[in-house]
Amino acid sequence: MFIQKSHLNNSFLTDKHRMVQSDDGSFTAYSAEFDEHYHSTKDGALAESLQKHVIPALLHVSFKDEISILDICFGLGFNTLATLYYMKKEGIKKKLTIYSPEFDKELIASLKHFVYPEIFLEFKEIIDALSTSGEYQDESLHVSLYLGDAREFIRDCKHQFDVVYQDAFSPSSNPILWTKEYFADIARVMKEDGILTTYSISLATRLALHGSGFHIYLYEPKGCRSSTLASLKELSGYERVDMAHKISCNPEAKPLSDLEI
Ligand SMILES: C[S@@+](CC[C@H](N)C(=O)[O-])C[C@H]1O[C@@H](n2cnc3c(N)ncnc32)[C@H](O)[C@@H]1O
């Protein structure tokens, strides 16, 4: 299903990125700039994307004919591509719009050469279009990359999203995309019945979301470590995180703030 490591001639995507095989066989990248992998190498790039983001999000919006997704940040594009893959595999027909900020133009231009899982190869035309022009459009799909700062994009955004994939580098290496002010901006661009998915289960992240009016839920993805779902309206069918209790047990815990970065 995947090209083996030994068959990879050049594992460097750019001066700052190296391709790395994750434990489910799919390749991810290591960023020298952030000193972090793009995905959990233990959970696997493809598994993490499908199980922590795409599957719970698409279940949540299953009754809608038209959906819009904010994919923070595009990176290697796994969340966008896994969404297309899963919809096709499950026969889910919807009009889909995806907006995705990403400030690393060199990385985007290099994606034509990334070793994607075979199941993404049918989206080669889409990958090439996004890598070259940052846009792809057909009758039912519009993907638009914003090649710049995510905070700026969200602040100026007039669109309202059904789904937010919160998949930035970790709060410790990229704090500006995890602050309470950031999540307040995210809440403003989400539909009232929207859902946010994230791999982060840290109390600081949950406090930042909670402070912006989100309800917080523990999610147990199949074959991966736990993750978080957040929504402005209450959800049923998930284990609710009792934030009042967490706060009373951890009175010194604080969300990240723009003022301290
Ligand atoms: C963990 S990776 C995203 C992984 C991605 N979802 C995927 O499936 O490959 C984080 C990405 O955020 C980008 N990034 C970091 N800070 C940013 C910012 N302020 N604005 C836009 N992009 C940013 C990095 O360049 C990197 O590509």
Whole-structure pTM value = 0.96
Convert the pLDDT of each residue in 66-112 to its tens digit.
999 999 999 999 999 999 999 999 999 999 999 999 999 999 999 99
Cα 205 to Cα 19: distance, rounded to the nearest angstrom: 28
Cα 260 to Cα 241: distance, rounded to the nearest angstrom: 26
| Beta bridge partner(s), residue 217 | 229, 240
Average pLDDT, the chain: 95
For 125-247, list the strands marked E by DSSP: 135-137, 141-146, 161-166, 190-198, 215-219, 227-231, 239-240
Domain that holds residue 83: 42-260
Contacts of 252 (CB under 8 A, 6+ apart): none
Residue 20 resides in a domain: no
Closest ligand 1 atom to the C-alpha of 149?
20
Contacts of 260 (CB under 8 A, 6+ apart): none
CB 17 within 8 A of CB 30: yes
Residue 177 resides in a domain: yes
Residue 8 resides in a domain: no
Residue 116 resides in a domain: yes
What is the 8-class DSSP label of residue 52?
A: I
Residue 184 resides in a domain: yes
Nearest CA to ligand 1 atom 8: 78
The gap between the terminal CA atoms of the chain, to the nearest Å, is 43
Counted domains in the chain: 1
Q: Profile the chain (261 residues) by mean pLDDT over runs of 10 residues.
A: 47 88 95 95 96 98 98 98 98 98 96 94 97 97 98 97 98 98 98 98 98 98 96 97 97 97 89
For 24, what's the count of Cα atoms within 13 Å in the CB-facing half-sphere?
Answer: 21
CATH number of the domain encompassing residue 221: 3.40.50.150
Candidates 20, 69, 103, 179: which one to mutate for ligand 1, based on the most atoms within 8 Å of Cβ? Answer: 103
Q: How far is the CA of 239 from the centre of ligand 1 (A)?
A: 29
